[in-house]
Amino acid sequence: MWTVVYIAPNMAVAEMLKEMLTQEGLLVMLRSAGIPHFGPSGPVEIMVPEAEAEEAHELLCTALGE
Local structure of 32: helix, strand or coil = strand
Q: Which of 42, 60, 41 is nearest to 3 (CA)?
A: 60
Domain ranges of the chain: 2-64
The mean pLDDT of the chain is: 92
Cα distances (Å, whole numbers) of residue 25 to 34, 48, 56: 27, 11, 10
pLDDT, tens digit, 9 for 90 and up, residues 16-30: 999 999 999 999 999
Cα distances (Å, whole numbers) of residue 35 to 18, 20, 29, 39, 42: 21, 26, 18, 8, 7
* Residues paired with residue 29 on neighbouring β-strands, in sequence order: 47
Asked if the model's pLDDT at residue 37 lies above 70, the reply is no
Topology annotation, domain 2-64: Alpha-Beta Plaits (3.30.70)
pTM across the whole model:
0.88
Q: pLDDT at position 36, please?
A: 66
